[in-house]
Every structure is written in C-alpha cells, then in structure tokens.
C-alpha cells in the first residue's frame, strides 16, 4: 500500500505569517485558506482510493519543508500544498524561493517524490483561479511513484531469471 502525505498550509489569521498570508491585508489569509482548501480538494480527486493519505497542517509555507523532513521516513511520497500571495515587501520572494529550493533538495536527497503544489500568486483572484494545481502536483507524484514500481517489478523479474 502506498502511503502519501499531503502537507497543507492552514489559513493564518491576521497579517504577517511566513506563508499563509501576506504582510498586508488580513483578507489575504482568507484567500489563502480558500486556495489551500481548493488545492487539497483537487489533489484528492487524483489519489487512488487504496492509498493511505495523511494530511498534516502547518501554519505557513515556510514550515512545509521542515515538516516533510521530520516525516520523510514515514511516507512514500509527499504533496506540498499552500499559497503565498505577493504583498508590498520582498517577503514573498524569500518565502517562495526558500520553500521551493528546500522541497526540491528534500526530494533529491531522500529520493522520494514531493509534489510542489504551493501557489505563488500576485493576487487573491489569481490564487483562487489556480486551485486546481493540487491535482497537477498529485499527478506528478503518482507518475514518479509508478516509475519506482516499474523498476521494482523489473528487478524482481530479472532476479527470477
């Protein structure tokens, strides 16, 4: 049985958090919550019913990589979901780049697929429109997992010969 974890950003209340909202209006946290909820919903449409899935909520995008790192041995794959909406400061750039690099490094070093469904948007409207990106992240993870299974099956066949 494949065990998948979806690490999602919970909607932050108020102004400045590391990822769930921007440093400006409090309404961004609402958009982030809507976007993350939509991401999770679209992700679930792609995951086969026989997969065991655990959803781990984190307060912001910045906490996604460390949460995956702490759980890396417990799951076959991860799907990181969240949303960062650009505000008036460079905070958006730091969080977006740092989380993306950390997720990629974790995937490479652990040799486990980690789908990046973290939206980096310029507006609340854009975040809400892109909520189906969770399904794309799930599809990518499932594709990499199937490669692993094909390699395992091929190795078993070769060993039996």
Which residues are tagged catalytic?
91
CB crowding 107-123: b at 16 or more within 10 Å, else e: beebebbbbbbbbbbee
Q: Which residues have CB under 8 Å from 150's CB, separation 6+?
A: none
Judge contact between 82 and 33, C-beta under 8 A.
no
CB crowding 37-47: b at 16 or more within 10 Å, else e: ebbbebbeebb
Report the C-alpha gap between 31 and 119 in whole angstroms.
12
Q: Which residues have CB under 8 Å from 71's CB, separation 6+?
A: 5, 56, 78
């Amino acid at each position: 049985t494949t065990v998948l974890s979806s690490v999602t950003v919970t909607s932050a209340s108020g102004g400045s958090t590391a990822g769930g909202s921007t440093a400006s209006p409090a309404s961004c946290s609402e958009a982030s919550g809507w976007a993350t909820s939509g991401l999770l919903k679209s992700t679930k449409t792609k995951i086969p019913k026989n997969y065991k899935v655990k959803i781990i909520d984190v307060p912001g995008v910045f906490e996604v990589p460390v949460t995956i790192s702490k759980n890396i041995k417990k799951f076959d794959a991860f799907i990181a979901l969240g949303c960062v909406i650009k505000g008036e400061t460079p905070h958006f750039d730091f969080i977006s780049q740092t989380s993306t690099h950390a997720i990629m490094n974790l995937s490479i070093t652990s040799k486990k697929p980690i789908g990046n469904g973290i939206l980096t948007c310029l507006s609340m409207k854009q975040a809400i429109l892109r909520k189906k990106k969770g399904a794309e992240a799930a599809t990518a993870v499932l594709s990499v997992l199937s490669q692993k299974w094909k390699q395992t099956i091929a190795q078993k066949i070769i060993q039996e010969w």
